[in-house]
Structure 1
Amino acid sequence: MNNLRHLLLLGGGHAHVEVLRQLGQRPLPGWRVTLLTREEMSPYSGMLPGVMAGLYQPAQALIDMPALTARCGVELLLDRCTGIDPQARMVLRAGGPEIAWDLLSIDTGATPDTSRTPGAAEHALPLKPIDALLPRMQAITEAAQPGEHLVVVGGGAAGFEVACALAVRLPASVTLVAGASGLLAGFPDGLRRRAKRALARHGVTLSEGRNAARVAPGAVHMEDGETLPASAVIWATGAAAAPWLAETGLARDARGFLRVDACLRAEGHADIFAVGDVASFPEPLPKAGVFAVRQGPVLAANLRAVAMGETPQPYVPQQDYLRLLSLADGRALGTRNGFVFGGRWVWWLKDRIDRRFMARYQH
């Protein structure tokens, strides 16, 4: 065992579960592999709105990491990373001794940014980490009564889908605060119009053109002075980087995410890879799970290449990609290559894609 080199996978994100699957199919000769993650059950973000809408049971959207790592011959450490020392090749963790590695891959994701709005960190419920979200959402669901007000802050895909899910499932009223940039900025106008009609059909109040200025117990205070009553506030804004990344000495972008090269390596470090939401690419990419999923096979191949002394290959992001948004009522909206479509068949397509993804790692 002592003669084996050590590949450490940090985080159980969408790309790393594919690395685990491939290592299970083709073990890496001369190497032992460890996964360090804080989540025993790794969530698939694409199915989270469906869980919140009651369309899936939570277990359907969770990957059992002890079972997956056992099948793949990988050691699992359930703990929280607190730092990385690239020079000493050590990872620090909260509940145990530091871990030495020869090759490191980071897929720890990101969380909604609560730092820019006073009171959000104390009084709002962020969508991630999902393992902390689900129990609290269950409590909100069980306690929801007619006349209560739920506020979702964030006008992107996640905020839109969550607002639809809550409105369909719960008797409380729902307000979606889409902010100054408006609902689904960056999506085609035709899809945005359909999305607004769906919100209206579900009874969701849409607030656009203004930001939330402060979150207080029982209220969201808007920048124009209006106060929105809120029995609960769900925070679904842009992503934020983990604070401990600042202490690593690794190159980061202006938002604190790790800068990587075309081959998914941390800038200036041939032995450190980073993927998914934690990574910042030369040509910026949206923080969307579809990119992490596509990065998984490239990462697996490049980790194997470096481990065997070969040259890694570049990751080429898809120029356009299929974007599907659940309406929580058996229908969905979609867009690709400028085309916009919607209906029950789109939900069928999304459900099929999501279930197929999960089947790779759950069984």
Structure 2
Amino acid sequence: MKHLLLLGGGHAHVEVLRQIGANPLPGWRVTLLTREAQSPYSGMLPGVMAGLYRPEQALIDMAALCARCGVALLLDRATGIDPQRRLVRRAAGGDIAWDLLSIDTGATPETDRTPGAAEHALPLKPIDALLPRLGALAACRSIAVVGGGAAGFEVALALHRRAAVTLVAGGSGLLPGFPTKLRQRAARALAARGVALREGQDVVEVTAGRLHFAAGPPLEAEALVWATGAAAAPWLAETGLARDEKGFLRLDACLRAVGHDAIFAAGDVVSFPGGLPKAGVFAVRQGPVLAANLRAVAMGVAPRPHVPQRDYLRLLSLSDGRALGTRNGFVFGGRWVWWLKDRIDRRFMARYQR
């Protein structure tokens, strides 16, 4: 039998697993290689931190999912890919041969750009490493969250009932890329809940319990949470696969690695044509297309292009039973928006937890 190897248990791959379970690939065996026994759903992480969800509600049991889908599971970490010999190297030793490969390993924290961040700050990702440390985080009296994007905003609000929180949005400001009206409402939401907002300057250095800026006094806090952009895993540089200037895998329109018809990828590990942002919604949307294209290639059929939507629904939890949202330039908020976000998140998880 030929071998389909799924590398990583990200949002796109859990959909691939589900579809293989519903309609197995004749003549193929399938293996999932992932370091996460419990795959976290990033959309529910702020809710877990705020106490709105139990941790297990935001986790997918990969052993149970693979067993239901007839897929072999290897709990290990990939350390390299040899595209010519069609091998994946494992941290535990031993290579795995494949005929068709799909990569959905996510990204790593962007801590290397700021001196001291890797040593003294707690990164949001990988989420499975963050969850066990939430108890210690809850005991802190002051917390600084670095990163003014959606993740930093939601996490700052999720933690504000536990401690005095400062959101450091940096030079890009609060929620760059979002409509102006939503950014204004978000700033008011922070102020109304007592979350301090510091904008205008990026952090230039991190020391124990302290953030330093090019000008002005440092910011002290018992805990420093790093919620800035994502970085590519260093081991991708040794694969010989085409990458962009930031190190992410370059894909064609069919989600294939450029120059390799037997290697597909999705999620935060990739650089998709058009410069899609690193958002979970795109990995979720890529899942069905990835599953269809892997099946097509396995059956000797040409894959089809993935056409991302131009605009998408963006929902931001305020961690108090309310949320803000935007789509197609419209901005809205309230309890019904939280209800919508909660419904979407629970429905997504129910597909893979049951």
**Same fold, TM exceeding 0.5?**
yes
1:159 aligns with 2:152: yes
1:279-330, CA deviations, whole angstroms, 9 ceiling, x for partnerless residues?
Answer: 1112110000000000000000000000000000000001100000000000
Between the aligned partners of 1:27 and 1:234, the Cα distance in structure 2 is 42
Mapping for residues 94-133 of structure 1, pairs under 5 Å: 94-133=91-130
Q: 2:318 maps to what in 1?
A: 327
What amino acid is aligned across from residue 152 of structure 2 in structure 1? G
1:213-252, CA deviations, whole angstroms, 9 ceiling, x for partnerless residues?
Answer: 1111111112214111110110010110000000000000
Q: 1:235 maps to what in 2?
A: 226
Q: 1:222 maps to what in 2?
A: 213
1:57-116, CA deviations, whole angstroms, 9 ceiling, x for partnerless residues?
Answer: 000000000000000000000001101000110000101311000000000011220011
Between the aligned partners of 2:75 and 2:93, the Cα distance in structure 1 is 10
Mapping for residues 1-150 of structure 1, pairs under 5 Å: 4-141=1-138, 143-144=139-140, 148-150=141-143
1:358 aligns with 2:346: no
**Contact 1:111-1:127 at 8 Å conserved across structures:** no
RMSD: 0.7
What amino acid is aligned across from residue 31 of structure 1 in structure 2? W
Q: Secondary structure at the match of 2:286?
A: helix
Between the aligned partners of 1:202 and 1:135, the Cα distance in structure 2 is 26
What amino acid is aligned across from residue 322 of structure 2 in structure 1? R
Unaligned runs of 5+ in 1: none
Q: Secondary structure at the match of 1:226?
A: coil
What amino acid is aligned across from residue 101 of structure 2 in structure 1? L
**Contact 2:2-2:99 at 8 Å conserved across structures:** yes
Q: 2:339 maps to what in 1?
A: 348
**Contact 2:293-2:304 at 8 Å conserved across structures:** yes
User: Scaled by the length of structure 2, what TM-score is found?
Assistant: 0.99
Cα deviation for residue 129 of structure 1 reads 0.5
Between the aligned partners of 2:282 and 2:112, the Cα distance in structure 1 is 25
1:20-79, CA deviations, whole angstroms, 9 ceiling, x for partnerless residues?
Answer: 000000000000000000000000000000000000000000000000000000000000
Decide which of 206, 210, 215 is 2:197's aligned counterpart: 206
**Contact 1:19-1:296 at 8 Å conserved across structures:** yes
1:253-279, CA deviations, whole angstroms, 9 ceiling, x for partnerless residues?
Answer: 000000000000000000000101101
Between the aligned partners of 1:332 and 1:305, the Cα distance in structure 2 is 40
User: Scaled by the length of structure 1, what TM-score is found?
Assistant: 0.97
Between the aligned partners of 2:53 and 2:61, the Cα distance in structure 1 is 16
**Contact 2:325-2:333 at 8 Å conserved across structures:** yes
What amino acid is aligned across from residue 80 of structure 2 in structure 1? G
Between the aligned partners of 2:43 and 2:170, the Cα distance in structure 1 is 23
Between the aligned partners of 1:115 and 1:353, the Cα distance in structure 2 is 34
Q: Secondary structure at the match of 1:34?
A: strand
Q: Secondary structure at the match of 1:359?
A: helix
Cα deviation for residue 333 of structure 1 reads 0.2
**Contact 2:109-2:126 at 8 Å conserved across structures:** no
What amino acid is aligned across from residue 79 of structure 1 in structure 2? D
Between the aligned partners of 1:223 and 1:91, the Cα distance in structure 2 is 43
Q: Secondary structure at the match of 2:160?
A: helix
What amino acid is aligned across from residue 81 of structure 2 in structure 1? I
1:194 aligns with 2:185: yes
Question: Identity percentage over the alignment?
Answer: 77
Decide which of 252, 256, 262 is 1:265's aligned counterpart: 256
What amino acid is aligned across from residue 352 of structure 1 in structure 2? R
Between the aligned partners of 2:352 and 2:250, the Cα distance in structure 1 is 28
What amino acid is aligned across from residue 339 of structure 2 in structure 1? W
Between the aligned partners of 1:250 and 1:46, the Cα distance in structure 2 is 30
Between the aligned partners of 1:35 and 1:301, the Cα distance in structure 2 is 17
Query: Matched residue pairs, number?
Result: 354
Cα deviation for residue 137 of structure 1 reads 1.8
Q: Secondary structure at the match of 2:245?
A: coil
